[in-house]
């Protein structure tokens, strides 16, 4: 499935950005970008209601759709 809104360049994301995460297995959930490397290969995300972070790699086949820019708007997930 192609979607123009899918983030192709993870390095354009910022900490605090709210994204919809779509895994290869079909799971979908909202998460906040917690941190990322400068090259945009690795991302730390936090899911709604969870304190733990999850490390994902761009080659994991996970698609990210931006929901809002927390960097600009202060968006955060709430438990």
All domains in the chain, ordered by first residue:
10-72 (2.30.30.520)
String of DSSP letters for 8-77: S-GGG--TT-EEEEE-TTS-EEEEEEEEE-TTSSEEEEEETT--SEEEEEGGG--EEEEEE-HHHH----
pLDDT tens over the chain, length 79 residues = 444 456 667 888 999 999 999 999 999 999 999 999 988 899 999 997 788 999 999 888 899 988 876 554 433 443 3
């Amino acid at each position: 499935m192609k979607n123009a809104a899918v983030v192709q360049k993870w390095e354009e994301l910022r900490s605090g950005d709210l994204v919809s995460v779509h895994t290869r297995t079909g799971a979908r959930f909202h998460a906040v970008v917690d941190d990322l490397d400068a090259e945009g290969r690795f991302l730390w995300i936090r899911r709604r209601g969870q304190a733990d972070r999850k490390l994902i790699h761009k080659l994991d086949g996970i698609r990210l759709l931006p929901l809002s820019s927390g960097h600009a708007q202060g968006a955060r997930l709430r438990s």
